[in-house]
């Protein structure tokens, strides 16, 4: 549910004018007008447009000389391009665990998975939520690792004035149909402050200019015209996305886990995601809302990596997130009535589940289930996970060797207080 059909209806006359304008020019016309505008949005010295975001990542790795024998740090939780581009150049993707709240790559995992073979990191700002990369950039500098900012989902976002697309050695953008700003035929861009790399990107997108092995990755003029038009509306659209996100936040925070934001963050809300109690509840809610899941599997568990060399950190957090995350509809043309229909459906569905959950837990832990003083106690993450499993099937507790009922009660109180 991207809303582009409503956008066309609203701006039909302007789009038809753009079509007529572009058809009167040679399709090989330079798209510098778009690249110049993207320089302003990212703060970069050079921007080179290409066919899609995957090519942009591929070109970034090519320009850094990444090849077979090298390793590149990538997230377990992201769109497949964040990792497949590494395999395309013959290097080995090294999958890192994520933070349980932000869903961004964990610095601890990055340090665990580092080896002398690591030459770069691909770091996405998932769902348009910019993250503070200061410590990771310092680690990369210390270890001489190139930092590729995958800003495919975050154009227009910023954190404390730092724009998406401006961080590290190279940044990449995407204009796929599900992005905040989309082309009519996808599109991508590579952003850098390095003139030599920018010249290489221009050659790579046009068959290497017969100087190197390249690709047919030019952006069509008509596509550039449409992206340019939509960039002019990005701020307005982003403001509306933020308004919808605020409605979701205010009404749902007592029922689900929402992605936290930080002071100084200008979120673009490419996606609005929530996490539910477990996979069964998530799958049921997905069906009720006809919603989507981003993403259903940790990247290294995709079938393609059964055949492709890789390394992977432990995936406890990534698996939980993949099993419980749900993407709610969000786009600038949603009406208030549509937003509240989704909110009310979620609340009504979860209130019923909540009552059932309490009854099941009382059978396991007794009637004196609630004790707010337990919220100050600590317990291992595995117990919170067990509580989720109990929610799915009360018999699960009997199948596990975790018989410490006090720890389970602590976990339940925390789980109930913070998640449901």
CATH classification of the domain holding 174: 3.40.640.10
At which of 234, 258, 280 does a domain end?
234
Which candidate, 292, 258, 285, places its Cα nearest to that of 353?
285
Q: Using CB atoms within 10 A of its CB, is residue 185 exposed (0-12), middle (13-18) or buried (19+)? A: middle
Q: Which of 200, 219, 234 lies at the terminal end of a domain, its last residue?
A: 234
- Give this prediction's pTM: 0.84
**pLDDT at residue number 400:** 53
The answer to whether residues 52 and 199 belong to one domain is yes
Beta bridge partners of 312: 95
How many residues are recorded in the chain?
Answer: 420
Domain for residue 244, yes or no?
no
Residue 51 to residue 132: CA distance in whole angstroms:
29
Same domain, 227 and 358: no
**Residue 34 Cα distances to 37, 53, 110, 232, 291, angstroms:** 5, 16, 35, 11, 33
Amino acid 393: pLDDT: 59
Residue 398 within any structural domain of the chain: yes
| Residue 298, pLDDT score | 97
Helix (H) or strand (E) holding 119: strand 118-124
- Residue 209, CB-side half-sphere exposure with 13 Å CA sphere: 7
Q: Does some domain include residue 389?
A: yes
What backbone phi and psi angles, to 5 degrees, belong to 290? 55, 45
pLDDT of res. 183: 95
Strands of the sheet containing 118-124, edge to edge, are 46-50, 188-192, 170-174, 146-150, 118-124, 71-75, 92-96, 311-312
The answer to whether residue 207 sits within a structural domain is yes
Q: Are residues 94 and 230 in the same domain?
A: yes
> For 65-121, how does the pLDDT look when each residue is reduced to its tens digit (9 = 90+)?
999 999 999 999 999 999 999 999 999 999 999 999 899 999 999 999 999 999 999
Residues 216 and 77 in one domain: yes
Q: Is residue 291 part of a domain?
A: no
**Closest to 154 measured CA to CA, from 130, 118, 185:** 130
Q: Which helix (H) or strand (E) holds 183?
A: none
**What range defines the domain where residue 182 resides?**
4-234
The DSSP H or E segment spanning 130 is: none
Cα–Cα distance measured from residue 55 to residue 59, given in angstroms and rounded to the nearest whole number? 6
Q: Is residue 14 located within the same domain as residue 163?
A: yes
Q: Does residue 242 lie within any of the structural domains?
A: no
Local structure of 365: helix, strand or coil: helix
Domain boundary, last residue among 215, 234, 253: 234
The answer to the question of residue 258 being in a domain is no
Site of tokens 């060399």? 309
Q: Domains in the chain: how many in total?
A: 2
- Count of other CB atoms within 10 angstroms of residue 306: 8
Q: Is residue 119 part of a domain?
A: yes
Which residues of the chain register pLDDT less than 70?
Answer: 1, 26-29, 388-403, 418-420
């Amino acid at each position: 549910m991207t809303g582009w059909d409503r956008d066309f209806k609203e701006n039909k006359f302007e789009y038809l004018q753009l079509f007529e304008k572009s058809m009167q020019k040679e399709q090989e016309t330079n798209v510098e007008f778009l690249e110049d505008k993207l320089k302003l949005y990212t703060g970069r010295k050079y921007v080179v447009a290409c066919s899609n975001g995957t090519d942009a990542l591929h070109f970034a790795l090519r320009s850094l000389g990444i090849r077979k024998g090298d390793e590149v740090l990538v997230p377990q939780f992201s769109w497949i391009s964040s990792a497949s581009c590494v395999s395309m150049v013959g290097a080995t993707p090294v999958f890192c665990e994520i933070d349980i709240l932000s869903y961004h790559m964990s610095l601890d995992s990055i340090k665990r998975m580092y080896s002398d073979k690591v030459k770069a990191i691909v770091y996405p700002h998932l769902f348009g939520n910019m993250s503070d990369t200061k410590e990771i950039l310092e680690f990369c500098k210390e270890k001489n690792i190139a930092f590729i900012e995958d800003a495919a989902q975050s154009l227009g976002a910023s954190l404390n004035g730092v724009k998406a697309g401006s961080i590290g050695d190279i940044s990449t953008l995407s204009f796929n149909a599900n992005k905040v700003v989309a082309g009519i035929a996808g599109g991508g861009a590579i952003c850098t402050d390095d003139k030599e790399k920018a010249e290489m990107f221009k050659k790579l997108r046009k068959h290497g200019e017969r100087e190197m092995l390249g690709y047919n990755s030019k952006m069509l003029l008509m596509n550039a015209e449409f992206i340019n038009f939509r960039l002019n509306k990005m701020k307005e659209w982003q403001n509306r996305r933020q308004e919808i996100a605020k409605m979701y936040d205010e009404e749902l925070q007592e029922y689900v886990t929402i992605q936290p934001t930080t002071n100084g963050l200008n979120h673009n809300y490419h996606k609005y995601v929530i996490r539910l109690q477990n996979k069964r509840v998530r799958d049921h809610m997905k069906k009720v809302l006809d919603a989507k899941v981003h993403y259903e599997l940790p990247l290294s568990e995709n079938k393609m990596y059964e055949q492709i060399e890789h390394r992977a950190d432990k995936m406890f957090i990534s698996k939980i997130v993949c099993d419980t995350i749900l993407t709610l509809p969000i786009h600038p043309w949603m009406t208030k009535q549509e937003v509240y229909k989704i909110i009310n459906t979620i609340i009504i569905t979860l209130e019923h589940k909540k009552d059932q959950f309490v009854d099941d837990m009382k059978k396991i832990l007794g009637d004196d289930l609630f004790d707010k003083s337990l919220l100050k106690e600590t317990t291992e993450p595995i117990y919170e996970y067990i509580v989720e499993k109990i929610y799915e099937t009360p018999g699960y507790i009997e199948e596990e060797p975790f018989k410490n009922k006090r720890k389970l009660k602590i976990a339940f109180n925390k789980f109930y207080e913070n998640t449901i």
